[in-house]
Amino acid sequence: MIISMANDEKVLAEPVAAAPQPLKISLDTGLLVLMFTMALWYIRYVTPANRVADLWLHIDAMAVILLVAAYLCVEFFMGDARRRHAAKMAILGVLITIVVIIPMGFSIYGRYVAGPSHRIMDSAVQTEEAVKMVLRGQNPYSHTYFKTPMAQVPGVTKGGLEHYVYLPMTFIMPLPGYLLFHYTVGYFDLRFVYVPMFFLLLWALYRLAPSREYGRALLIVFGLNPDVAFYFVAGSNEVAAMTGLVLSFLCLTKRRYAWSAVFFGISLLSKQFMLLVLPFYLLYLAGQHVKDGGWVRGPDGKLTPLATAVIVLGIMVLVFAAPFFLWSPAHFINDIVKYPNGLTKNGAHIDGWTASAIALHMGLVKNAGSHFPSQIFYIVFLAPLMALLLWWQRKRNTLQVVMLAAAITTLVFIVFSYFTHNNYFYYAISFFFLAWLAFGEAPAPDDIIDKRNT
């Protein structure tokens, strides 16, 4: 016999407990959990193999794991929003110190003990030598590097010792730092200059974020991403170009167009990849015109944002780049343009995730030093793509679209480049995260808190 209780008055009268609402997990917490497992791999990869280092490796990894657990506890058990934010920021500060700053310190000390060609990227060694050449009145683009510590770096090719592929700001910016440390400490490592830039970058990213949650997310993406930290610790120069770009955008949000152009100029003269951002940056500024104003002066008689930026960028190119071009035009063009495209006698070698590497493996080009027509691919694929993206931006002229267009352009450019390295993807990834976290959809109103008071 089956007894139904569906209509029992006592059963119907009993209160039914409401189902608990799902917990809200913040964006920064999710990104941190994603990043920290990769960070453990990164810490193991950069730590030299010996018993003492292995002990510190385990201590470091354990500290990272416990700090992530503490971050989760703060997320779910600390009710006050301001205290929760302060606790999270403190944990992120310790994590960045453990994952980035301490490994860099060990790397710098290891280089100091082992010699100038150890525990650092060849690009950083070459930039240090370029700084010294400028101070001696020599042209970094016309001199070779065979008699410098760069010649002792494993894997450096003859072409790499004959050419300086980086733009002038890479050795101009470190000049004051070199003089300071050389005449006070007596020892200089390029990373002494990059560390302050790194913290300036993190500060600018946080100020650019629309909310505290998005600000913490940006700190995690740019401060704890092992794919970024690995090359930064090794002395790669991406941090200089990205710091200039983020500061430029921060000035844009405050309508400081001249200062924005100055910082963008620093970024542009630091890395060739920023040339891919330039058209979208200028189009954004063009969109800031008052409708009844002209291209050069607005209705108030003042210079338009576009005219201001063009003048500032032009002056910076004349001051910081033109002298080195005029010093030796052939060497400048060979190093900056021809060498990275495999157009010199001892040019760069085909490498990385590129169409040229596929052609090499298929036997379509003779060897890694052979010519590959990257320029044709740029004309066929990259130029129409940029035209399409610029058209899209005209319809929706925001900084988010500027960064998304730059990210897409950079990815396609990398694919059809003569060669590429993994750290080149840093730019496309960074552009995307800026579009998402700095310029994306505004967060909920209760999440927007004046960060100046925190």
Q: Is residue 100 part of a domain?
A: yes
Confidence of residue 226 (pLDDT cuts 50, 70, 90): confident
Structure tokens given for 275: 């040339």
- Cα separation, 289 vs 266, in Å, equals 24
Q: Looking at residue 361, what is its pLDDT?
A: 85
Judge whether residue 5 has pLDDT over 80: no
What number is the average pLDDT over the span 176-196? 95
Q: Looking at residue 439, what is its pLDDT?
A: 93
As to burial, measured by CB atoms within 10 angstroms (0-12 exposed, 13-18 middle, 19+ buried), residue 193 is: buried
Half-sphere exposure of 328 (CA within 13 A, CB side): 14
Amino acid at position 237, single letter: N
Number of domains in the chain: 1
- Cα separation, 279 vs 406, in Å, equals 9
Q: Looking at residue 20, what is its pLDDT?
A: 78
**In 3-state terms, what secondary structure has residue 238?**
helix
Q: Is residue 45 part of a domain?
A: yes
Judge whether residue 454 has pLDDT over 90: no
What number is the average pLDDT over the span 217-221? 95
Q: Is residue 240 part of a domain?
A: no
Q: Is residue 68 part of a domain?
A: yes
Amino acid at position 116, single letter: P
Average pLDDT score, the chain: 87
User: What residues contact 220, with CB distance under 8 A and at least 6 apart?
Assistant: 28, 31, 32, 35, 92
Residue 345: count of CB within 10 angstroms of its CB: 11
Cα–Cα distances in angstroms (integers) from residue 79 to residues 31, 76, 87, 108, 224, in the given order: 21, 8, 12, 41, 26
- Cα separation, 129 vs 138, in Å, equals 11
Confidence of residue 52 (pLDDT cuts 50, 70, 90): low
- Cα separation, 27 vs 25, in Å, equals 7
**In 3-state terms, what secondary structure has residue 293?**
coil
Q: Which domain holds residue 102?
A: 24-114
Confidence of residue 450 (pLDDT cuts 50, 70, 90): very low
Min mean pLDDT across 15-24, 249-258, 369-378 is at 15-24
Structure tokens given for 375: 């320029």
Chain centre distance of CA 288 = 26
As to burial, measured by CB atoms within 10 angstroms (0-12 exposed, 13-18 middle, 19+ buried), residue 281 is: buried
170 close to 270: Cβ distance less than 8 angstroms: yes
Closest CA to 179 of 142, 138, 128: 128
Closest CA to 221 of 440, 449, 453, 433: 433
Q: Is residue 37 part of a domain?
A: yes
Helices (H), 122-256: 122-135, 158-162, 169-172, 175-184, 191-208, 212-223, 226-233, 238-253
407 close to 435: Cβ distance less than 8 angstroms: yes
| C-alpha torsion 430→431→433→435, nearest 10 | 160
Q: Looking at residue 409, what is its pLDDT?
A: 97
Judge whether residue 44 has pLDDT over 70: no
247 close to 58: Cβ distance less than 8 angstroms: no
pLDDT digits (tens, 9 = 90+) for 96-112: 998 889 888 888 988 99
Residue with more model confidence, 179 or 228: 179
Judge whether residue 311 has pLDDT over 60: yes
What number is the average pLDDT over the span 229-244? 89
Confidence of residue 345 (pLDDT cuts 50, 70, 90): confident
pLDDT digits (tens, 9 = 90+) for 392-436: 999 999 999 999 999 999 999 999 998 888 888 889 999 999 999
| C-alpha torsion 431→435→438→444, nearest 10 | -160
| C-alpha torsion 109→114→120→121, nearest 10 | 170
Residue 306: count of CB within 10 angstroms of its CB: 21
Judge whether residue 216 has pLDDT over 50: yes
pLDDT digits (tens, 9 = 90+) for 361-397: 888 888 787 788 888 888 999 999 999 999 999 999 9
Residue with more model confidence, 363 or 182: 182
Q: Looking at residue 413, what is its pLDDT?
A: 94
Judge whether residue 198 has pLDDT over 70: yes
Structure tokens given for 210: 């629309």
What number is the average pLDDT over the span 345-356? 82
